[in-house]
Structure 1
Amino acid sequence: MKVQVQNLDASGAGDIELADAVFGLEPRADILHRVVTWQLEKRRGTARGARERSDVARTGKKFGRQKGGGTARHGDRRAPVFIGGGKAHGPRVRDFNPSLNKKIRALGLRMALSAKAKDGSLIVLDALDVAEGKTKTLVTQLAQLGFGKKALVIDGDALNVSFALASGNIGGVNLLPAMGANVYDILKHDTLVLTRAAVEKLEARLNG
C-alpha cells in the first residue's frame, strides 16, 4: 500500500510503501473488541480486601451470659459492633488481570492500524519539527493538514521535543512513542498520524 508522505506545512515529501501485513488487513470487530476489553480491564486496580468477622484474631469466647447481664446478647468479640472486630460486608479482593494471547494482541494492533488506513484517517508525516516549539505555529499547520478534533500522533523511539512542547496546550492532540502504540488509543482518536520513524518501528515490531 502506497501512501503520500507530508510535511507539517502540508507540502509533499514523497511516498512510502506500507506493509500489507501490518496496514492492509481486513479489520474484525471481535478481535478489536477482545483487545480493547483486555486493555481496559488491565487498567483496573485490585481492591484491598477488608478483614471480616472470620479473619480477625480475637477470642471466640462468648462475651457474656445470654440473659440477665443487662447488655446485648453478643456472641464474641469478633462482632462488627466492637472496636477491632471484623468489617461487616467489607470489600473483597477481586482480580482484574485477565490474560490475552500475545498473537491476538499483535493481531488487534495490526487491525487497528489497518482500519485507520482503510477509512482514510491515516496521515504519514516526514518529521515533527516545529519552529521554536511554538504552539501558534503548530495550530496553523494542523489546520492545513486537517487533523480533525482528536488526533493521535505516534513518533519513533523518542518523542520530538519541539512538537511535544508545541502540542502540550492543544486539546485533542496526543503524542506517543512507537512502543506505546495500542489499539484503544488508536481507535479512540479520529485521525492517526505516523512519522516515517514510527512506520519503520511498527513494521519491525508487527511484521514478524
Structure 2
Amino acid sequence: MELQVTSLDGKSVGKIELADDVFGLEVRQDILHRMVRYQQLKAMSGTHDVKNRSEGVRTGKKFKKQKGGGARHGDRKAPQFRGGGRAFGPTPRSHAIDLPKKVRALALKHALSAKAAAGELIVLDSVTTSAPKTATLRTTFGKLEWLNALIIDGAAVDQNFALAARNIPHIDVLPVQGINVVSILKRNKLVLTKAALEALEARFA
C-alpha cells in the first residue's frame, strides 16, 4: 500500500510504502471489540464500595427479646432495617480481564487497517513548530480539515507542538508508545509521522 507523505503546510513531500500485514488486513470487528472492552475494563477504577453489616455505625446490641415479639431479630445493622448495612453490595475490586498479548497486537493492526481502508490515515513528514502558538496550529488544522484527529509522533513529541495542540478540542497527540485501539477508533482521522511509522514497523517486525 502506497500513501502520499504531506507536511503541515499541506504540501506533498513524497510517497511511502506501508506494510500490508499491518495496514492492509481485512478488518475483524470481533477482535476490535475484544480490545476495546479490555481497555475500558482495565481503565475502570473499581473503587465503588458500600457499608455492609459489619461496617455499620449502629449498636450491635439485641434490641428485643428473642421470643414473643413476632419476627426474631438481632441488631439494627441488619440489611432489612433503615440505616442497616447493605447486603451483597459492591466492594473495591479490579474489573480487568485477560487478553493474550498476540491478540492485543493483532487488534492494533486491525485498527490501523480500518483507518487505512476508510481513507482516514494520513502520513506526515514531521510535527514541529517554532513556537507553542495554539491559534496558529488551529488555523493550520482548519486548512488541513483535521477537526477530529489523533496525531502520533515518534518516541518523543515536539514540546512546542504538544503545548500548542493540547488546548484544541478533539485533537489528541501521543508518542508512538502510547498508541492504542480506543484512541484510534475515537477520532475520525489518524495522523502518523514518518518516525511513528518506523517505530511501528520495528515493533511488528
Task: Give the 3 Å change call, closer, same or farther, for CA 82–172 of structure 1 in structure 2.
Answer: closer
Q: Which residue of 2 aligns with 1:21?
A: 21
Change (3 A) 1:183 1:82: closer
Aligned-partner SS, 1:104: helix
Supply the RMSD in Å over aligned alpha carbons: 2.9
Structure-2 residue corresponding to 1:65: 65
Task: Report the Cα distance in structure 2 between the residues aligned to 1:2 and 1:175, rounded to whole angstroms.
Answer: 24
Q: CA deviation at 1:114?
A: 0.8
For residue 186 of structure 2, the aligned residue among 182, 185, 188 is 188
Q: C-alpha separation between the residues in 1 aligned to 2:3 and 2:136?
A: 25
The percentage of counterpart residues that share the same residue type is 51
**What's the TM-score once normalised by structure 2's chain length?**
0.84
Displacement of 1:90: 6.0
Alpha-carbon distance, 1:106 to partner:
0.6
**Structure 2 unaligned residues grouped into runs of 5+:** none
Asked if 1:91 is matched to 2:84, the reply is no
Distance in 1 between the 2:29 and 2:12 partners? 34
SS at match of 1:192: strand
In 2, Cα distance between the equivalents of 1:97 and 1:118? 31
Instruction: Tell me by how many angstroms 1:139 deviates.
Output: 2.1
CA displacement at 1:131 relative to structure 2:
3.0
Q: What runs of 5+ residues in structure 1 fail to find an aligned partner?
A: none
Q: Which residue of 2 aligns with 1:158?
A: 156
Per mean C-alpha deviation after superposition, the further-off stretch among 92-101 and 181-190 is: 92-101
> How far apart in 2 are the matches of 1:130 and 1:189?
23
Q: Does 1:175 align with 2:165?
A: no
Bigger mean CA deviation after superposition, 9-18 or 110-119: 9-18
AA partner of residue 152 (structure 1): L
TM-score by length of 1: 0.83
Counterpart residue type for residue 104 of structure 2:
R
Distance 2:167 2:137 in 1: 11
Local SS of the residue matching 1:131: coil
